[in-house]
Amino acid sequence: MKRCECPVDESLGCLTNHAAYTARTYLTRQLALNGIDMTIEQFKVMVVLWQEKSSTQQYIADFVGKDKTSITRLIAGLEKRSLIQRVTDKTDKRCNLVTLTAQGVALEKPTMDVLTRANDALHKEFNPEELAITLRVLKQMCQHLHNPTKENV
């Protein structure tokens, strides 16, 4: 079976999973081609920090939709590259706050520029009306799966 074929013909779950995988791979490759050594998972962590400036690991995990172990690993990798730092919360010693370093702050604009250009290039490949419908359907799917009815539990 080829990589782009789904085991269940016309499976929405399989196709969305494959689309997400190929999009992550494409976007990570675009970052690398522009000299930015960051995965999309690491990018998601950085987005939280670019928006919030400082955050708990639990908030990041909830926002990104990853478990605490995965977030700890992602944060350790970003910390090793001096993009973020962990400090003990002054109000709650049991909690670590994750903050950006100067290098992490400086990476926001070039990273967002690369991903904006990559998304723009990708979106140009599709009919705008079809893209709008696809985005609407995917949003409805996410909403429906987050709030299932009794029939779908």
**Domain extent for 126:** 1-37+107-145
Length of the chain, in residues: 153
Answer yes or no: do 55 and 93 share one domain.
yes
Q: Alpha-carbon distance 137 to 131, whole Å?
A: 10
Residues 73 and 120 placed together within one structural domain of the fold: no
- Let me know: does 114 contact 36? Beta carbons within 8 Å: yes
pLDDT of residue 17: 85
pLDDT of 2 strictly over 60: no
Structure tokens at 74: 């992602």
Same domain, yes or no: 29 and 44: no
In the prediction, which pLDDT does 95 show? 81
Average pLDDT over residues 9-37: 88
Three-state SS annotation for the chain: CCCCCCCCCCCHHHHHHHHHHHHHHHHHHHHHHCCCCCCHHHHHHHHHHHHHCEEEHHHHHHHHCCCHHHHHHHHHHHHHCCCEEEEECCCCCCCEEEEECHHHHHCHHHHHHHHHHHHHHHHHCCCHHHHHHHHHHHHHHHHHHHCCCHHHC
> Are 54 and 83 contained in the same domain?
yes
Same domain, 46 and 77: yes
Domain total in the chain: 2
Q: pLDDT of 23-32, one tens digit each?
A: 999 999 999 9
Residue 70's CATH number = 1.10.10.10
Do 46 and 93 belong to one domain? yes
> 42-92: per-residue pLDDT in tens?
999 999 999 998 999 889 999 988 998 899 999 999 999 999 999 887 888
Q: Assess if residue 136 is contained within a domain.
A: yes
Q: Are residues 97 and 117 in the same domain?
A: no
Considering the domain architecture, whether residues 45 and 32 belong to the same structural domain is answered as no
What is the reported pLDDT for 5?
61
- For residues 46 and 85, state if they share a domain: yes
Residue 20's pLDDT band, with cuts at 50, 70 and 90, is confident
150 within domain boundaries:
no
The predicted pLDDT at position 93 comes to 79
84, part of any domain: yes
Res 1 pLDDT > 60:
no
Q: What pLDDT does residue 147 have?
A: 81
> pLDDT tens digit string along 108-149?
999 999 999 999 998 999 999 999 999 999 899 888 888 876
86 domain residue, yes or no: yes
